[in-house]
Amino acid sequence: MKFVHIALYDASIVDGRVLPYAAKSERMVLMSLKKKLKRYWPLYLFILPALAYILIFCYGPMYGIQIAFKNYNPALGMAKSPWVGFLHFESFFKSFYFSRLITNTFTLSIYTIVVGFPIPILLALMLNEVRNRRYRSFLQTVLYAPHFVSMVVIVGIITTMLSPSLGVINHILELFGMERVYFLIMPKAFRHIYVWSDVWQQMGWNAIIYTAALSTVDPELHEAAMIDGASRIKRIWHVNLPLILPTIIITLILRIGSIATVGYEKAFLLQNDLNSEVSEIISTYVYKRGIVGGQFSLTTAIGLFNNLINVCMLLLANKLAGKFSETSLF
């Protein structure tokens, strides 16, 4: 009887035939897939454009990674260009710019995370406490608007505001008896300008996901806390914040997973010969050497190295999150 029990537990019946359960019969899987496709075909149809986008623009270009290990010649093409192994990686690691690029990129990225990550959370918590719907909608519109402004326009606004002759900041300094300052040529001011302008531009947009998470909080929890005598601050701290903590952890993991990726647009537009010591980052270097200079193999190797750092940081952050909390990506 014991043998029969084990056999039935470890097996499944398909068309009158006993198949091992551990083998996960391909026929059963196909039948299940056909049922799902037949039942949920409209949903799968909606997924197709996104799937096509990912395949074409994310996985398709991965074919070109091979030129990081070749001396790529456009006339010969990818297939016929000669292999050089890790020559381009070694060239980048031994270059004069390597340590500067890594330092500048990570400094900007970490500074942005430290300052820019908690502010959208605080903003979402504050917006959630605004009871007047019209006023809240007005605030959200004002805060979200900078995200949709072109980066060129944003940099133009920054340049005008910090201009030594026309800038409002220098007018205020002069009003208080201080000398005018040309902030954009000061290396020590570049990182602060870059990060805080990014916070201003993105904080409203980044707060959307936390606002959505707060909308799922059960009002009965707040009512129970109010009965217990909890103030508004305590309810935010002990009710709202713990319930959106999984969302915070997931977004932090994803942000750390792109720690080596800093967009080149703003850095490039704010860059000049006097602040290039701190404004030259991996993305601007890749643009100058790859797109402008035509060194495609070198810049592909740099991009591959950059992505490997991101993957390692993502895995590390996910592991730490799973170890110290119950939330992780996988």
- What's residue 263's pLDDT? 85
Is residue 248 a contact partner of residue 118, using CB atoms and an 8 Å limit?
no
Residue 295: helix, strand or coil by DSSP? coil
pLDDT in tens, the chain (330 residues): 444 443 443 444 444 554 454 444 566 777 777 888 888 888 888 989 999 999 999 888 888 899 999 999 888 888 889 999 999 999 999 998 999 999 999 999 999 999 999 999 999 999 998 888 899 999 999 999 999 999 999 999 999 999 988 889 999 988 888 888 899 999 999 999 999 999 999 999 999 999 999 988 888 988 898 988 888 899 999 899 999 999 999 999 999 999 988 888 999 999 999 999 999 999 999 999 998 888 999 999 999 999 999 999 999 999 998 888 888 888
DSSP string, 18-75: EEESTT--HHHHHHHHHHHHHHSHHHHHHHHHHHHHHIIIIIGGGGGGGGGGB---TT
Domain locations in the chain as residue ranges: 2-66, 87-324
User: What fold characterizes domain 87-324?
Assistant: MetI-like fold (1.10.3720)
CA distance 236 to 215: 13
pTM of the model: 0.82
List, for residues 74-92, the tens digit of each pLDDT value: 888 888 899 999 999 999 9
Q: Which residue has the tokens 């004002």?
A: 142
